[in-house]
Structure 1
Amino acid sequence: MGKTATSSKIQIQTLRDRGMELDLPEEKIKEILLDIGYYRLGFYWNPFEKNKSHEFNGGTKFSDVVKLYYLDVDLRNILSRYINRIEINFRTKVVYYVSNKYKTSSTWFIDPIVMNSRFISTINDYYNDKFKNNNRTIQLHHKKYPKDTYAPAWKTLEFFTFGSITKIFKSLNDQDIRKRIANEYNVLNLNKFVNLIDTIVFVRNTCAHGGVLFDFQIPEGIAILPGINFNSNNRHSLDSCIKIISYILNSVSESRRIEMDELIKDLFKNHKDNNVIRGIIESKIGYKFD
């Protein structure tokens, strides 16, 4: 199955031979395989496998695999929506505070007074012909001001990724601005704030690229903050990451934080009575039901 393409009919028979209970009509299963893909769906039946031969535990149902997949999809959509609020807010604060501190340097992201030399040396990785051609605002700026090497920061950074904005934040020479921004998210320790933002960016990138969430683990442990209790003291789990997203989001909008928390709680609650999915939510994601 690894190196040769197979038909959905063979794929269905393979699942049956490995012990999966195909509890949906065969035409529906075929439709799902052609929609999601056998390979992608394999990430979601992996926790049901009992050995390296990919045989399934007794009682493994195709419908539970599909439920786990859509749990992941729904969770990804929720997190993407609210991380976007954090991203926009963070970008705005960086641009606002730095631009107003260095009013005579509209392109401060390449100014050695403002930025460290390591970032400036990599600017062509971010600001190049592809960047200019792909962003109409930047394109129009250079058409209107052909002598400008770069557009002003408030135009340019609008089209930088969350990860790139985070790198800019880390590269600021002005520690006072960095601390001021961190404090606005109720984080007093700058190193901890960087850790939290890096965590959110990592989750954001996983969501943006369709990564699997139910067994997500953050490589670097999340910084400890007063008032946040990580279940089982696991500072790598998705549940711990969600707690951090919620904490930072609360400084952006308390109502949006409440909204996100309720959506995630309701999503997990919908699977509370399915012992299989509930077990994965608790053991893999790290969430604890009330």
Structure 2
Amino acid sequence: MGSLATTIDQQIEKLIERGIVFNDDNEIEKAKEILLDIGYYRLGFYWYYFQDKKTHMFNESMKLDDIVKLYYFDFDVKMLLLRYIYRIEVHFRTQLVYLASNHYSENNTWYVDPKIIDNKMLKEFNNIYFNLKTKSNTLIKHHNNYSCDYAPAWKVFEFLTFGQIFKFFTKIKNQELKKKIASVYGFRDVSLLNNYLISLINIRNICSHNGVLFDYNQSVGIKRIPNLKYRVKTSNTTNLNASIRLLLFVLSKVSQNRANELETELQILFDKSCENELVNGIVKSKIKFDI
């Protein structure tokens, strides 16, 4: 589309020139509705895989409806995974705050104590906290009622992102405390928990910001999952299938019922995807779903 804005009619014309098939005027009108709803640029992230990279011509007999089905399949998977990742996020936040706050029971603002947390994190957090205490009614009320620089950890951490919470965990100087938190999930190796949480946060960010999920690959491979049921069966430890297996495994540490529930919902969603040839092809070639 270049760098100039285009009308819906021009976008339709461009799609036809590049080989998208519209059987009648009704399909063209429906396409206009879709482009005004989702957007030409966003859909381009999905039809990219079905174009010649040099000419931008679409695969033979390609229909916009197939691309839209892939878009909504990807969206449905994101919303499903996000719901269960949030369960892990809340659980991890609770364990970190509970165990650290009780370990430093005389210091309810341990998260800004340079003896406990790496100084680099504290410098970064000052700006974060300033924004929080001017926008969060809970923190505004706290500072109106109490003369202090920071609110207790259990109040503050409710307003931090999964990534920020995890970063605090990595910056704790007390290695034994970190091991204690990791042991909640059955891990003696803190680096294992680090790898798993980074991977889940990466997926969460894709889902939260509505990026393309089906073709996402972790930047670092997921470490071996110590559970035969959820262990990755192939050498590919970066694709979405590996991330789904990891999510199921970590979720099972929080609640086996929720892990079973997610597995069932995934099966239903992926089975339904087989109804469309293009989406089914993506599931088999890109995601390689094997739950």
TM-score, length of structure 2 as denominator length: 0.95
Work out the CA distance in 2 between the residues paired with 1:141 and 1:232.
51
| Higher mean C-alpha deviation, range 18-27 or range 37-46 | 18-27
Root-mean-square deviation over aligned CA pairs: 1.4
Q: Does residue 1:160 correspond to 2:160, yes or no?
A: yes
Work out the CA distance in 2 between the residues paired with 1:14 and 1:288.
38
Among 281, 284, 287, the alignment partner of 2:286 is: 284
Kindly provide the CA deviation profile for residues 163-213 of structure 1, in whole angstroms up to 9, marking residues without a partner as x. Answer: 000001101112222112212212332111101001111111111111110
Work out the CA distance in 1 between the residues paired with 2:189 and 2:215.
29
| Equivalent residue, structure 2, for 1:51 | 53
| Equivalent residue, structure 1, for 2:270 | 268
| Higher mean C-alpha deviation, range 207-216 or range 277-286 | 277-286
| Higher mean C-alpha deviation, range 115-124 or range 253-262 | 115-124
1:1-290 aligned at under 5 Å gives the runs 1-22=1-22, 25-128=27-130, 130-145=131-146, 147-226=147-226, 227=228, 228-288=230-290
What amino acid maps onto 2:112 in structure 1? I
For the Cα contact (< 8 Å) 1:231–1:287, is it kept in 2?
Answer: no
Distance 1:79 1:109, change over 3 A: same
What amino acid maps onto 1:151 in structure 2? A
For the Cα contact (< 8 Å) 1:231–1:286, is it kept in 2?
Answer: no
Work out the CA distance in 2 between the residues paired with 1:109 and 1:179.
17
1:259: how far off? Answer: 1.1
Aligned length: 287
Kindly provide the CA deviation profile for residues 122-171 of structure 1, in whole angstroms up to 9, marking residues without a partner as x. Answer: 2213211x2112111001000111x2000010101111110000001101
**SS in structure 1 opposite 2:234?**
helix
For the Cα contact (< 8 Å) 2:225–2:232, is it kept in 1?
Answer: no
Work out the CA distance in 2 between the residues paired with 1:151 and 1:118.
20
Work out the CA distance in 1 between the residues paired with 2:96 and 2:195.
17
For the Cα contact (< 8 Å) 2:70–2:278, is it kept in 1?
Answer: no
For the Cα contact (< 8 Å) 1:115–1:172, is it kept in 2?
Answer: yes
1:40: how far off? Answer: 0.2
For the Cα contact (< 8 Å) 1:220–1:236, is it kept in 2?
Answer: yes
Distance 1:30 1:231, change over 3 A: farther
Work out the CA distance in 2 between the residues paired with 1:125 and 1:270.
46
Work out the CA distance in 2 between the residues paired with 1:133 and 1:99.
24
Work out the CA distance in 1 between the residues paired with 2:122 and 2:86.
26
For the Cα contact (< 8 Å) 2:225–2:246, is it kept in 1?
Answer: no
1:231: how far off? Answer: 4.5
Work out the CA distance in 2 between the residues paired with 1:225 and 1:257.
15
Distance 1:195 1:269, change over 3 A: same
For the Cα contact (< 8 Å) 1:64–1:276, is it kept in 2?
Answer: yes
For the Cα contact (< 8 Å) 1:119–1:171, is it kept in 2?
Answer: yes
Consecutive unaligned residues of structure 1, counting only runs of 5 or more, are none
Kindly provide the CA deviation profile for residues 243-268 of structure 1, in whole angstroms up to 9, marking residues without a partner as x. Answer: 11111111111111111111111111
For the Cα contact (< 8 Å) 1:114–1:174, is it kept in 2?
Answer: yes
TM-score, length of structure 1 as denominator length: 0.95
Consecutive unaligned residues of structure 2, counting only runs of 5 or more, are none
Distance 1:99 1:79, change over 3 A: same
